[in-house]
Amino acid sequence: MMRIARFPKPLRAVLLVSFLAALATALLPLGANSQLPVIRFVRDPDPAPDFKVKDLDGKDVSLEPLKGKVVLLNFWATWCGPCRAEIPGLIELQSRYKDRMQIIGMVVDDDDEQAVRDVVKAEAINYPVALTSPDVRMAYGGIAALPTVFVINTEGRVVQKHVGLFNPALYETEVRALLDMPVSAKVETFEDTGEIFLKHADRATMLPGVNMTALTPQQRAAALHKLNAENCTCGCDMTLAQCRIYDPPCHVSQERAAAIVKEVSTAGEKAKPEKPVTAPAEAPKP
């Protein structure tokens, strides 16, 4: 069995913060004149990276046989409080839609198989659970925080990602919408600008915690180019843009991003042509 390194302690603190922020944006209101919430799916979703792993019973688990079903790929860990808190809701959801939806539990950052088995037994988890390899983690963007759930449609494409503890009603609404079942919500689409897969962070026009409102369109493009070209030095192995998207509390990427915005703004000011000096008007000749 390949050993999986544990997350650094600072990142574990981020996990606790991330799920609180996630709760605030689980269902987006349409406005004062509407009672319907909004659910959002990626407009042109990427295929979900497939994998072949063994669950705790030794059975093969992969995405290919699940085409035609909605899949919730749930990355979690036994030590993660929010992960444990959402298990009962996932169990109920699996029972309710067992014929048309499949949840897969992917255990991250825990190589103690017995500890995982104990949790599965204690919670009576009714969906397959497998230990996740580093290759699978990287295929899905590194899994910077837990729990993380990827929502995969019936065509095997990733249409949404949720980081943190979410209301089970949100998952159920998304599942029903993807199964063409009635829902009390408005469905909207969006372009993935790094929220789902890191490779699309270069599409982002705004980044969490980065104020570019004072920049011209040309300066903003230059700043975004720098933010996508320079790596963050916090140890995350991501670009500054990716770190801002995946780890908004990171002070390293936030401070460096602010410095880049200032550099671009200052360079733009220096590049402005000086106003020509107007010569005094000649006095009329007598």
Domain presence at residue 23: yes
Asked if 242 and 198 count as a contact pair (C-beta separation under 8 A), the reply is yes
pLDDT value of position 211:
93
* pTM, 2 dp: 0.72
Look up 83 and say whether it is catalytic.
yes
Q: How far apart are CA 171 and CA 165, in angstroms?
A: 11
Both 30 and 170 in one domain: the answer is yes
Cα 168 to Cα 87, 92, 200, distances in angstroms: 10, 9, 28
Look up 236 and say whether it is catalytic.
no
Domain presence at residue 74: yes
Both 215 and 181 in one domain: the answer is no
Amino acid at 71: V
Domain presence at residue 279: no
Domain presence at residue 31: yes
Joined tokens for residue 275? 């106003």
Query: How long, in residues, is the chain?
Result: 286
Both 23 and 128 in one domain: the answer is yes
Cα 108 to Cα 28, 153, 172, 179, distances in angstroms: 29, 23, 24, 28
pLDDT value of position 23:
40
Give φ, ψ of 266 to 5 degrees: -65, -40
Reading the chain (286 residues) residue by residue, the pLDDT tens digits are: 233 334 444 444 444 444 434 444 444 444 444 578 899 999 999 999 999 999 999 999 999 999 999 999 999 999 999 999 999 999 999 999 999 999 999 998 767 899 999 999 999 999 999 999 889 998 998 787 899 999 999 999 999 999 998 888 999 999 999 999 999 999 999 999 988 988 888 888 888 899 999 999 999 989 988 998 999 999 988 899 888 887 888 999 999 999 999 999 988 666 555 555 555 555 555 5
pLDDT value of position 166:
87
**What range defines the domain where residue 21 resides?**
9-190
Q: Which of 190, 215, 231 is the last residue of a domain?
A: 190
pLDDT value of position 283:
54
Domain presence at residue 240: yes
Q: Which of 131, 160, 190 is the last residue of a domain?
A: 190
pLDDT value of position 204:
86
Both 204 and 94 in one domain: the answer is no
Q: How far apart are CA 100 and CA 72, in angstroms?
A: 12
Both 100 and 146 in one domain: the answer is yes
Quote the number of domains for the chain: 2
Both 173 and 59 in one domain: the answer is yes
Domain presence at residue 284: no
pLDDT value of position 179:
98
124: left (phi over 0), alpha (psi -120 to 50) or beta: left
Both 70 and 148 in one domain: the answer is yes
67-90 burial, b if ≥16 CB within 10 A, otherwise e?
A: eebbbbbbbbbbbbebbbebbebb
Both 24 and 155 in one domain: the answer is yes
pLDDT value of position 26:
45
Domain presence at residue 241: yes
pLDDT value of position 30:
42
Both 69 and 150 in one domain: the answer is yes
Domain presence at residue 281: no
CATH of the domain at 140: 3.40.30.10
Taking the alpha carbons of 129, 159, 22, 32 in that order, is the dihedral positive or negative? negative
| DSSP annotation string for 120-168 | HHHHT--S-EEEPPHHHHHHTTT--SSSEEEEE-TTSBEEEEEES---H
Q: Which of 80, 234, 243, 250 is catalytic?
A: 80
